[in-house]
Amino acid sequence: MLNISDFNNNLLAWYQANKRDLPWRRTSDPYHIWLSEVMLQQTQVITVIPYFEKFITNYPDLDALADADEGSLLKDWEGLGYYNRIRNFHAAVKEVQNTYDSTVPDDPDAFFSLKGVGPYIGGAVQSIAFNNLLAAVDGNVLRVMARLNLDYRDMTKASVQKSVKQDIEAVLPLEAGDFNQALMELGAVICTPRTPKCIMCPVQQHCEAYKEGQVSELPVKKRAKSKKEIYYNVYFILNDKGEIMLRKQEGTLLGGMYELPKYDIDTSIETIEEELGVPLDHPNIHTGSVKHVFTHQVWYMEGYVLYTKGAHEDFVPRAEVAKLPMSRAMQKIYRQLEM
DNA sequence: AAATCGTGGTC
DNA sequence: TGACCAAGATT
């Protein structure tokens, strides 16, 4: 950068003149700002907006969310993905309720110790809500900085991200919250991954990559590994009381969400009967196929209807199913039963 | 340090 | 169509 003060002034002036009207910019409530940052993790602004509105309606203050039950939170989060975010946020908010008298700490060390608060969310909330002098380095900022400084390091590496964060904090102006948002906004609107609008860029004269004609070569990122393909048979197990078997997923992937019993395709019905402890009648009704793409997996699911006269604790009345949180993956195949 | 964790949109 | 991307954190 040629001149830091010149750079900061240009960037902040551009930000103020082009500021988008986003719901979380209408509030100064640290709890609302924190909630928005948790939702925005790896998620586009346009996707977050309706979820944010729903949450501040259903859980208007920190105590309301802390006192809510996890099932209702997961149901309201349904479809947003990365479901551990809301479970971590729930735990963190409860800790604020118990330890900090329901007041979000205006203190980086205290705040960073909370569940789900990493380098980005910590910096973003502390700077935007309290104007503490910390950088908020997200994917936008990494891209902008790589181009400004003609930085060819692999931006997916944690060590590089930490270094970029320190570089920014060395030049951070007193308006830290606005500066952080301006840098992210620049990345989102002008300095985009493909076909960046350099002609419109308020800091074009500070950009080394633009000078060298290297904008489209940056940032450097190692490419993602290929996805693992998994094949499941998914079963609609119905009893004679109008109920269907649905159970809560364990583990880290979709943990807490409800699912139809699913088994690797070469699992026999006898094995499933043994595992569930109920006799199963297999009329060979195939409801259809679904492909669902995750970040690191692809599921290929085949749906089948089974009947049983046995008793099991995981039966749910068909009318109650819609009240339970279910992943998009499972919703796609569940819909086949209604057709 | 590298793998894992969702979903929807784009080209 | 497949690969990439989006206000990243955790283990």
Q: What is the CATH number of the domain that holds A14?
A: 1.10.340.30
Q: Whole-angstrom Cα distance, residue A64 to residue A237?
A: 37
Question: Which tens digit of pLDDT belongs to each residue from A293-319?
Answer: 999 999 999 999 999 999 999 999 999
- Per-residue model confidence (pLDDT) at position A2: 52
Query: Which of these three, A189, A217, A245, is where a domain ends?
Result: A217
CA of A144, C1' of C2: distance in angstroms: 26
Whether residue A213 is found in the same domain as residue A321: no
For A218-230, write each residue's pLDDT tens digit.
999 998 889 999 9
A47 touches strand B (CB under 7 A): yes
DSSP A226-287: PPEEEEEEEEEEE-TTSEEE-EEPPSSTTTT-EE--EEETT--HHHHHHHHTS--EEEEEEE
Q: Do A259 and A137 share a structural domain? A: no
Residue A223 belongs to some domain of the structure: no
What is the CATH classification number for the domain harbouring A234?
Answer: 3.90.79.10
pLDDT of residue A1: 46
> What pLDDT digit, counting tens, does each position of A195-208 carry?
999 999 999 999 99
Q: Give yes or no for a contact between A135 and A169, defined as CB atoms under 8 angstroms apart.
A: yes
Chain A residues 227-256 with Cβ under 7 Å of strand C are: 227
Which residue, A217, A252, A271, sits at the end of a domain? A217
For residues A210 and A258, membership in a common domain is answered with no
Q: Are residues A56 and A187 in the same domain?
A: yes
Same domain, A50 and A170: yes
Spacing of A199 CA from C11 C1' in Å:
43
Q: Is the dihedral of CA A132, A133, A136, A140 positive or negative?
A: positive
The reply to whether A201 Cβ lies less than 7 angstroms from strand B is no
Phi and psi of A335, rounded to 5°?
-55, -25
**A101 is a domain residue:** yes
Residues of chain A scoring pLDDT < 50: 1
Asked if strand B contacts A81 at the CB level, meaning under 7 A, the answer is yes
> How many Å apart are CA A254 and CA A86, to the nearest integer?
12
Residue whose pair of structure tokens reads 């602004």 in the numeric block? A45
- State the nucleotide closest to A162 in CA–C1' terms: C8
Please say whether the beta carbons of A247 and A262 come within 8 A.
no
CA distance A32 to A61: 8
The model's pLDDT over A59-95, given as tens digits with 9 standing for 90+, comes to 999 999 999 999 999 999 999 999 999 999 999 999 9
Residue type at position A85: R
The domain boundary, picked from A217, A244, A259, lies at A217
Same domain, A210 and A232: no
Question: In total, how many domains does chain A have?
Answer: 2
- A233 and A213, same structural domain? no
**Catalytic site residue A37?**
yes
Determine the structural domain holding residue A316 and report its residue range. Answer: 228-338
* Distance in Å, residue A5 CA to nucleotide B6 C1': 41
A140, A267: one domain: no
